[in-house]
Each structure stands twice: as structure tokens, then as C-alpha cells.
Amino acid sequence: MANLSSYLGGQSDPRKEGLPLFGLWGQESGGNHNTNFRIFDSGFKNVGSPWGGATGTTSNYRYGIMGDASHAYSMSDHGTDFNSNHTTESYTSYTNYCKSVYQIDQYPHAFYYTASRNGHCSWQSYHQITSSFEYTVGWTKLNMVLPEGNRPRRMFCNRRNSMREKSGNNSCASIDHYDYTSHLLETTNDYATGTGYNEKTKTLVMIHSGGEGDSAAKTIHIFKSGKNLMTCKKIKEFFDELTSVEYFTDSWALPNNKNWCVVVGNNDWVGFGAKTGNTKKYCAFDCSVKGVGQNLTGASRRYLDWQDFAGSVTTSYSAENGNQYYTRFNTTWDGKWGMIFSSYYYYGPGINAFAMSLENPRKFISINQTKSAYPNPYVAWGRTGFHGGDSDNTDSTSWQTYSFSFDPTDSDHTVDTTVYMGSSSGEATVPDSNSHVGGSYTNKTGSCSLTESYTQLTGGFNSTCYPVLIGLNWWGAYGTADQSYGGQ
């Protein structure tokens, strides 16, 4: 397999990180004092650095040493929203999404904060948030399937017929721009509304729609190149070395096309999925080379038929309610499983997700968690899992999270999918029986309802505390002292 390691002559891929870390921000209910921020590895061991804060004569000023939102004139831009339950916010109430499921995806930056692995966290200013990259066009980011331990360190965006490289979650100048119109075989639909890339197969798959709104017309292009996009100095190099271009047309109706996610599997099957309003659907298509330029129908490439999300749905937002609600994509640390996910409830709690094998996107199930208050985002966890989704009060109890993981060796879509889960007691997670803890779910129509897992961690404050789960920018270089060893 040619990946960046190969190009480096067998040296370790500098992008590769150790097993995932996460941050936990705790404080009293008003968000003004007893602030506590800790960094944990996937074994829930503390790996960050201690820090100190100083406060003024009033506890209403949070700790300036942290560079957090206390810099603002009102001193409470985000200050009293850490116990937000996400019931009353409209999509213009920027201050309340710190714990939303929309906070972070596979990219190492987060929407409302930036946090280092050493334990420095600062909230973004919300004053210009509607002009920020993530709020407005974050949905144009490519969905990446990368080798083990890699998160996308380069960010390519695709809109209309142009790909651009950006430098992170900001609205600064693009690093590169390339108009690939000349490589398209069919140009009727000229709004790129979902793009996925697989580094192993050097395959780029784009959805072009008749518009970014509710246009059903679709043209799907499949580009294969001899050049890895992630090693190109200019985007043009990928297109200059194309070895195959194919397309198919189809009609996929959704109220908003900004929600589409494209998951390019290692076996050339590609999962397309989106959530809009209370509808969420997914389907895998055979995007292997059929003959240069051949225009097969979408139906002829399809695995069975579109699958509606099989779990519980309730009123929830997606991109038509505000760009920041676009459907997201994330992968496990080992790059074996991914999920297309969105909120279960209105503005951020709960999760509606399709989880799919990245080896074979025909293997997929629904993932369901029906919280309607006190959310947290989900982040990659351990080798082949995710956790998050809960910020309930930790007063007189330990912090709980919803953890789940998959079998990294399981990519057979003809057998049920095993999901490993936790519980509220060790006696249940390592039971006095030979039973599997978790569930086994029928491919395509199965739905896994997550269960909460108790941890040994405090929320961070001895009284009322609704901890914030924080995604981190860097988990540490794999195999070095920078990494928190996770075992194997």
C-alpha cells in the first residue's frame, strides 16, 4: 500500500498520532469559578499539564490566564452556558453550542474552542462567528479515509467545480485553488455538495447537485489518480495524474444538499449519507472502475436500496436551519470504522449516526442515543471506538460517557455487526458469564442504542458540575515520548 510512510522511505508517518486523548472541563454551575481542565488518554489517565488560574475581586471574572471568553466586554460570552441543556437555543444563539454534538468531527480543530494536549483551552470569540469558516462553509470539507492514527492535517474544500486548500478553522486566504471543470465528464450539475477521499486507493469521489438547496439531480464523479492528494504540493498534481475518471447520474432528494457525506471505502464501495430534518439516509455504491468514462445508472451500482435511519428520530436541525448543523463524519483511530452523524434532538443533544466499515461501506448499522438535554460531542476513543454524548450533573456521582467500539477485523456485510459497550458497573462490563457486553445488529436495518458507561473521573467540581468534553488538536506523535502509550 502506498501511503505517506512509503514516500518517507519507511520512516514513521509524521502525521500519525497515539491513541485519542480528550479534555474534560468542569466548573460550578454558573461557570464562574472552580474551573478545572484535565486531559485524559483513552484509558482515562491524566496526561495533561497542571495549570493555575488567578481571579480578581469578583468570581464573575473567569481566569484570564486561560485566555478564554472572559476577554469579552460582557465577561460572559460563553461563561454561563456550560450548563446549557440545549432546549431553548435558536440557531442564532451562538453562545450555547459548546457542548453540541456539532462541536467536532474528524478534523482536529473544533468549532467553539481550541485546546492543546498540554491542557490549554480557550474559547473562540463568537463576535464574528457567522463569518468563520466552520459556521458557513465547513460542510465543503472533504470526508477523509486515512491510514491508522491519522487525522486530516491538510484540509481541502470543494464547492461548485473548485477545490481549495485551507489552513484550518478560519477564514484566512486559501493556500491553493484548482478549477477541475476540464476533468469532468458531465457538467450539468455544477454544485459540489459532498466529497470523499481515500488515501489508500487515491480515489476522490464527488457529488455534484443541481444546487446547494433541495435539488435532487446528482452527478457523481469517481477520480482515481497515481498521485496521493495528501502529498501533492498543488491540487492540480492529483488531477494531472488521473488514471481513471467515471461518473454516474442519479436522483437523490433531500431538502438540503449541504448535508451529504461521502465515505470512500478501501474496497471501492462508497457510502453516501445525509441527515436533513428528521430524515437520515444512507446507501453504498460500487465505485470500482467499470471502464473509462462509462455512464452506468446509479441503481446499477447500488448495494440494495437506500436505508432510512433505523433508530429513533425527533425534531432536529440540519444545514437548512443553519450551515453549522451540517451532517458530519468521523473515523475511529485505526481508520477501520467511520460514522456519519448528527444530532438527535433540535440543537445538539443525542446522536443519529450511520456507522460503517471503512474497509467495506456496505457493512453499516444505525447508532442511536436519544438524549434531549445536557449533551456533549462524540470523539474518537481507543483503537476502534468513540465516546462522548453526556454532560449530566456530576454532583455526588462520577462522570459518565457513552462509549462504544467495533471489531476492527469485521468488514463482512453478510454477518451481523458486533458493538462493544460499557455499563454503570464493572460487574456488568466484565460479567460473571460468557456473555458479550453490547449487542449484535443486523446489517443495514439494525439499530444500536448506546448505553452509558461510568468512569472513575470526577466532573471537576465537588458540587453542581456539567462537564464539557473537549476534542484536542494533537494526541501526541505515535511511538514517541509525546504519545500516551495505549498498548498493543
- Strand 364-369 to 447-449 pairing: parallel
Going by the DSSP 8-state scheme, the letter that residue 393 receives in this structure is -
The residue from 179, 395, 407, 412 that contacts other proteins (CB under 8 A) is: 395
Helix, strand or coil, per DSSP, at residue 179: strand
What is the three-class DSSP state of 416?
Answer: coil
The interface region with other proteins, picked from 22-30, 230-238, 378-386, 474-482 by CB under 8 A, is 22-30
How far is residue 366's CA from residue 439's CA, in Å, rounded to a whole number?
12
Q: Which span sits near other proteins by CB under 8 A: 126-134, 189-197, 244-252, 456-464? A: 456-464
Q: Does 482 bind other proteins (CB under 8 A)?
A: no
Residue (49 or 445) nearer to other proteins, CB: 445
Other Cβ atoms closer than 10 A to 65: 12
From the list 421, 429, 341, the residue with the least C-alpha distance to 381 is 421
Per CB under 8 A, 463 contacts other proteins: yes
- Binders of other proteins among 60-89, rule CB under 8 A? 83, 85, 87-88
Least distance in Å: CB of 421 to other proteins? Answer: 11
Region of residue 444 (left: phi > 0; alpha: psi -120 to 50; beta: else): left
Q: Please identify which residue in 440, 479, 480, 482 interacts with other proteins, judged by CB under 8 A.
A: 440
Contact mark string toward other proteins, 267..306, x via CB under 8 A:
----------------------------------------
- Pairwise CA distance, residues 444 & 435, whole Å: 24
Q: How far is the CB of 61 from other proteins (least distance, A)?
A: 17
Could you say which of 372, 455, 458, 473 contacts other proteins (CB under 8 A)?
372
In the bound state with other proteins, the residue whose beta carbon lies nearer, of 350 and 467, is 350
Residue 258 C-alpha cell reads as 449541504
Q: 11 or 314, CB closer to other proteins?
A: 314
Helix (H) or strand (E) run with residue 37 in it? strand 36-40
Range list of β-strands (E), 187-316? 191-198, 203-209, 217-225, 242-251, 261-264, 269-276, 279-286, 295-297, 307-308
253's grid cell: 432528494
**Would you count residue 90 as binding other proteins (CB under 8 A)?**
no
- Which of these segments, 71-79, 288-296, 367-375, 474-482, binds other proteins (CB under 8 A)? 367-375
Instruction: Name the strand (E) or helix (H) holding 341.
Output: strand 337-342
Q: Which of 400, 398, 397 minimizes the C-alpha distance to 371? A: 400
- Residue 220 as a binder of other proteins (CB under 8 A): the answer is no
Task: Please work out, in degrees rounded to the nearest 5, the angle formed at the alpha carbon of residue 252 by the alpha carbons of 296 and 326.
Answer: 125
Q: Which of 2, 175, 242, 373 binds other proteins (CB under 8 A)?
A: 373
Q: Establish if 312 lies at the interface with other proteins (CB under 8 A).
A: yes
Does 30 help bind other proteins (rule: CB under 8 A)?
Answer: yes
One-letter amino acid of 120: H
Please tell me whether residue 106 binds other proteins under the rule CB under 8 A: no
Residue 388 or 446: which CB sits closer to other proteins? 446
Site string for other proteins, 321-350 (x = CB under 8 A): -----------------------xx----x
Binding test (CB under 8 A) with other proteins, winner from 308, 415, 431, 482:
308
Q: Which is nearer to other proteins, 6 or 398 (CB)?
A: 398
Residue whose CB is less far from other proteins, 201 or 369: 369
429 vs 449, beta carbon nearer other proteins: 449
Helix (H) or strand (E) holding 117: none
Contacting range for other proteins; rule: CB under 8 A; set: 269-277, 327-335, 404-412, 461-469: 461-469
d(CA 385, CA 307): 23
**Residue with grid cell 463482512, as numbered in its chain:** 412
Helix (H, G, I), strand (E, B) or coil at 264: strand
Closer Cβ to other proteins, 249 or 312, answer by number = 312
DSSP 29: T
Q: Nearest approach, Cβ of 376 to other proteins (angstroms)?
A: 16
Beta-carbon count within 10 A of 420 CB: 17
Indicate the DSSP class of residue 51.
-
Minimum gap (Å) between residue 367 Cβ and other proteins:
12
Site of interaction with other proteins (CB under 8 A): 28-30, 83, 85, 87-88, 308, 310-315, 344-345, 350, 366, 368, 370, 372-373, 393, 395, 439-440, 442, 445-447, 449, 451, 462-464
